[in-house]
Structure 1
Amino acid sequence: MGQLCNQPELSIKDLQAALNEIAKQTGKKPAVIYTLARPTQLDLMMVTPEGETIYAPVRAVGREQLLKTANQFTNSIRDPRLVNTRAYLPASQQLYQWLIAPLRPQLDAQGIETLVFVLDSGLRTVPLSALHDGQRFLIERFNLALVPSMSLTDRRYRNIQRAKILAMGASEFKDQSPLPAVPIELDQITKDLGGGTEFLNADFTIPNLQRQHRQGIYQIIHLATHAQFQPGSPENSYIVFTDGRLNLLQLRNLRLYRPETELLTLSACRTAVGDLDAELGFAGLSVQLGVKSVVASLWYVSDEGTLALMTGFYNQLNTAPIKAEALRQAQLAMLRGDITVKGNELRTIRGAIPLPPALAVGDRSLSHPYFWAAFTIVGSPW
């Protein structure tokens, strides 16, 4: 196990005990899947709440071919010019055959419902939810999450139904394009769960985030803004606030682990993307710094797609037993056409949300994975 996940201090026995406890508390049975892409073969290892550890070597693919296919898949799915095609499907189905199919009999036999992935370098930005088995997407069967390592992951379960939200963001920027959906997004999500407080534009400052967080009344922090990850120095990557840019190094100074943050949502572009030194970007670093779960994005997401997913996600948190199930249900609502754009409205299961003129794009389906597969959970799915 140490070789595959590089965290030998967490034993199989301890991990199984944690998974067993989670299954009892949530009613959702989890499994942890480790991948190791070697030059000539792919190694898969799976730990479930009981039974032996499952090892499955995939000798049909080496690291170079695996990463090439993964890049083809991600590039085709995140290209807005291809939203009326299924250009992603061949690579999606091939990756499914390599990463999931060898374990599928055991997953089905044990009734596993949640998959937690500890992925090898080069694979961590793959939109796993859009892997396809030939009949349906992976998200149609499983709750999903990515973790940097299980030893760094908070394995305790807390119910956050009725949790309070600190929702902050900006719709106007000095030197970047506006985000006209942000005021609607903040307004909608603070009406969900246990209610919350929103701070927009002039009030969206780094000191205000620190002040509000220190009060200790918010289990969820939601930031809706621009972000950019740049390879190289940590100072080059930033989240945009009204009073300046928060870089990767400064993120440590926020001390979001004290008091504890149960969920951090980075409703901004490419917040789960990094480089070899920080491959899961802001999301991965936030988990390493003590945030339990982070919802973040893998590519530049459309405004209407983000608004649709976020409103669906927070609504589902009211009833879903775990965070990954809430995200999954929001993604499925988009995939199945239950959330769509009609004229100048976002049509949802709960009713219509008027859109600002800049987003009134006419009728638009949000069923293509470009719209819903960008967001992922990094850290605990619970």
Structure 2
Amino acid sequence: MRYFLLWSLSLIFAMLSLNVPKSARSQSNYPSRYPDSNENHSRPPSSGGLDPFIILNLINSLSRSGNSDQQQVDLSPDIAEIRGQIGRLYFLLARQYAVQNQLPQACNALEKGYSAELEAYLRKRMRSLQPDSNDCYATEVDRISKLTGSPTALIYVTTSKGGLELIGVPPSSPNRPAGIFSRTRIGAKSLQEKFGIPLAQNNQTSGTPFRKVAYNVTTEDVDRVIIDFRNNLRDTSSEDFLPQSQQLYDWVVRPMEPELEKSQVKTLVFVMNGNLRVVPPAAFHDGKRYLIEKYAVTTIPSWQLTEPNHPDRALTPQILAMGLSESVEGWSPLPATKVEVETISSQVLVGKNFMNSSFTKDNLRSQTSSQNFGIIHLATHAKFVKQSPEESFIQFWGDRLQMNQISKMNLVTDLLTLSACETAVGQNLGLAGLAVDSGAKSVLASLWTVSDAGTAPLMIRFYRGLPTAPSKAIALQEAQLAFLHGEVTIKNNQILGIKGFPNIPFQVDTRGVDLKHPYFWSSFTLIGNWL
């Protein structure tokens, strides 16, 4: 029965690949046209593929064949494979709902798709932290906007052979006359003429979900740009990354600008699939400014796998800071981590630190079991590859902690920071899996290996602003802007410009380190509870 269902699933995927509605190719190198959302919604359901009920029936059949025990935690390879197929079906289901303008149903299907995808990757069942929503979590988005004082938008970005789709969930906007965009730098007319984005006329209700689609921007198009973007970012002496940075902005952000401007959004929460997980939206560029100059930016694995709670910022969090400065198991030394770990644990925040030979799994386990730490900071090598959790790890002194072992460490904390890790391109679920499976409410980690000379100042600046920032996302934005605007610098073997902090001795080789370049400040991404 299972093999018949999988065969049926393959047939459905093939049928949908033939039935995807497509528009004419753009004349630019990277297609960027977004049809009007009303035009998309008016398409008859048959033009978008199969009826949602057919997909739901197949999901239910696969679920029954691959899950006889709802209480089972660890999944066998066969069941994990079925969960992966169910995830793909949920993404297809979301597309069918979206075509029919049933956006709350589309959001719920996306949420289930992301959960099933992570279950397949981690080979364990995920516990949903939030129920389904009848408004794409717009009520929660509005609550959080008021709680933080930073109007927040939730944005689902999915790529497929059928195109790139955006579902945006803005907060309630302040009262203002219709048609007036006092903070919009590009008017509606120029948006339509320059980018081919027809705008609905006064028919967008504030605080309600909206959809944008570029049928001719496929996963392959996006992946090609992402690979070029990441490769070009590594050359800190040039701005060769800007064409890709601007293209990603045009695809992912620009179509939503009228709605974001209308609601005066200041924080963007992205839920993304594929290789979009391994690029920093903060470094997207609109032609004049980086995204981080307009918005605080964060990503989440999914809303249902995230618990956005606001910690008490009146209390300085206790930090457990650990790391490696010496070379171990063939890894290069990280000399700046000593300054990083000692400074943040004794001068910026209050806590304990363990370096080199005392940085062991046993020490981490004993410390976290005997004391509650608001932050766990690990300044060490880590790697997240695309294939499986078994191949992803965090390096300790003489040992490695595989990602499939992390849940056993019970790292219950508000923030887990990995300040020297690398995340590979290729459908990578490693950081999302870490955010869900580690026990931490949020994870701050680097997407590529940045010299520790550039990492230490960013970490110190981030933690310096964290206790008084409205959210972790805003604290990270402030640190990144301090780099970009040249407020934090390294000169004469000192870190300069940490707000309200004396110059920090820094006897580290800083040749070739230009902290203004996004290679240094945009590498770090915040995943999970951003509050």
User: Same fold by TM (over 0.5)?
Assistant: yes
Give the structure 2 partner of residue 2 of structure 1.
Answer: 108
1:191 alignment partner, SS class: helix
Of stretches 233-242 and 217-226 in structure 1, the one that deviates more from structure 2 is: 233-242
Deviations 1:299-343 (A, max 9, x none): 111111101110110001022110011111111111111111213
Answer yes or no: is the 8 Å Cα contact 2:163–2:218 preserved in 1: yes
Provide the rounded CA distance (Å) in 1 between the counterparts of 2:401 and 2:451.
23
Q: Which has the higher contact order (CA 8 A, sep 6+)?
A: 1
Instruction: State yes or no: 1:177 paired with 2:341.
Output: no
Q: Secondary structure at the match of 1:326?
A: helix
For 2:386 and 2:145, locate their aligned partners in 1 and report how far apart those are by CA, in whole Å: 38
Residue 174 of structure 1, CA deviation: 3.0
Deviation at 1:48, TM superposition (A): 2.3
CA displacement 1:214-239 (0-9 Å, x = unmatched): 22431110001111234434333221
User: Do 2:300 and 2:306's aligned partners in 1 also have CA atoms closer than 8 Å?
Assistant: yes
CA 1:180 to 1:235, structure 2 compared with 1: closer, same or farther past 3 Å?
same
- Give the distance between the partners of 1:111 and 1:231, measured in 2 at CA: 37
Code of the aligned partner of 2:318: K
Which AA in structure 2 matches 1:348? Answer: G
Q: How do 1:141-290 residues align onto structure 2 when only pairs under 5 Å count?
A: 141-160=294-313, 162-175=316-329, 176-191=331-346, 194-257=349-412, 261-270=413-422, 272-273=423-424, 276=427, 279-282=428-431, 284-290=433-439
Structure 1 residue 21: deviation in Å?
2.1
Distance 2:246 2:254 in 1: 10
- Is 1:306 the counterpart of 2:455? The answer is yes
- RMSD, aligned α-carbons: 2.0
Counterparts of 1:363 and 1:231, CA distance in 2? 30
Distance (Å, rounded) in 1 between the aligned partners of 2:304 and 2:425: 21
Distance 1:166 1:194 in 2: 10
8 Å Cα contact 2:487-2:497 kept in structure 1 = yes
Q: 1:375 to 1:338 in 2, by over 3 A?
A: same
Deviations along 1:165-215, one digit per CA (max 9) or x if unpaired, are 111111113322111111100111113565111111122111111111122
Equivalent in the alignment of 1:351: 502
What is the match of residue 27 of structure 1?
149
Change (3 A) 1:364 1:179: closer
* Contact 2:163-2:219 within 8 A present in 1 as well: yes
In the alignment, what sits opposite 2:34? Answer: none
Distance 1:317 1:139 in 2: 17
Distance 1:285 1:269, change over 3 A: closer
Q: For each residue in 1:71-127, what CA deviation from the matched residue of structure 2 results, as whole angstroms up to 9, or x when unmatched?
A: 2112211x1xx2111100011111101100000111111011111111121211011
Counterpart-to-counterpart distance in 1, 2:292 and 2:529: 17
Aligned partner of 1:52 in structure 2 is 208
CA drift at 1:348: 2.3
Q: Separation in 1 of the partners of 2:437 and 2:276?
A: 19
Provide the residue aligned with 1:87 in structure 2. Answer: 240
Listed as ranges, the matches of 1:56-135 within 5 Å are 56-77=212-233, 79=234, 82-135=235-288
Q: Distance in 2 between matches of 1:274 and 1:253?
A: 27
Query: Shift in Å at residue 296 of structure 1?
Result: 0.4
> Counterpart of 1:251 in structure 2: which amino acid?
I
State the alpha-carbon separation in 1 of the partners of residues 223 and 419 from structure 2: 27
Question: Greater strand percent: which structure?
Answer: 1
Question: Which 10-residue stretch deviates more, 132-141 or 216-225?
Answer: 216-225
Contact 2:386 2:424 in 1 (8 A): no
> SS at the partner of 1:123?
helix
Structure 1 unaligned segments of length 5 or more: list them.
Answer: none
- Whichever residue aligns with residue 354 of structure 1, its letter is P
2:334 aligned counterpart, secondary structure? coil
Q: Distance in 2 between matches of 1:128 and 1:203?
A: 36
Q: Per the alignment, do residues 120 and 229 of structure 1 end up closer, same or farther by CA in structure 2, a change over 3 Å counting?
A: closer
* C-alpha displacement of 1:265: 0.5
Contact 2:385-2:430 at 8 Å conserved across structures: no
Superposed displacement of residue 268, structure 1: 1.6
| Secondary structure of 2:346's aligned partner | coil
Q: Secondary structure at the match of 2:468?
A: coil
Matched residues in 2 for 1:182 and 1:245: separation? 18
Of structures 1 and 2, the larger Rg is shown by: 2
Higher helix share: 2
Aligned with 2:521 (options 365, 369, 372): 372
- AA aligned opposite 2:364: L
Q: 1: CA distance between counterparts of 2:224 and 2:239? A: 18
1:221-279 CA distances to partner (integer Å, 9 max, x unpaired)? Answer: 0001111234434333221111411111111211123xxx1000011221x55754xx2
Q: Is the 8 A contact 1:74 1:127 kept in 2?
A: no
* TM-score in terms of structure 1 length: 0.91
* Pair 14,280 (structure 1): closer, same or farther in 2 beyond 3 Å: same
In structure 2, runs of 5+ residues without a counterpart are 1-106, 116-130, 173-206
Residues 1:322 and 2:471 are matched in the alignment: yes
User: Aligned in 2, Cα 1:218/1:146: closer, same or farther, shift over 3 Å?
Assistant: same
Q: Quick one: distance in 2 between partners of 1:46 and 1:192? A: 41
Q: Distance in 2 between matches of 1:355 and 1:7?
A: 43
Deviation at 1:14, TM superposition (A): 7.0
Conserved? CA contact 1:31–1:46, under 8 Å: yes
CA 1:159–1:29 in structure 2 vs 1: closer, same or farther (change >3 Å)?
A: farther
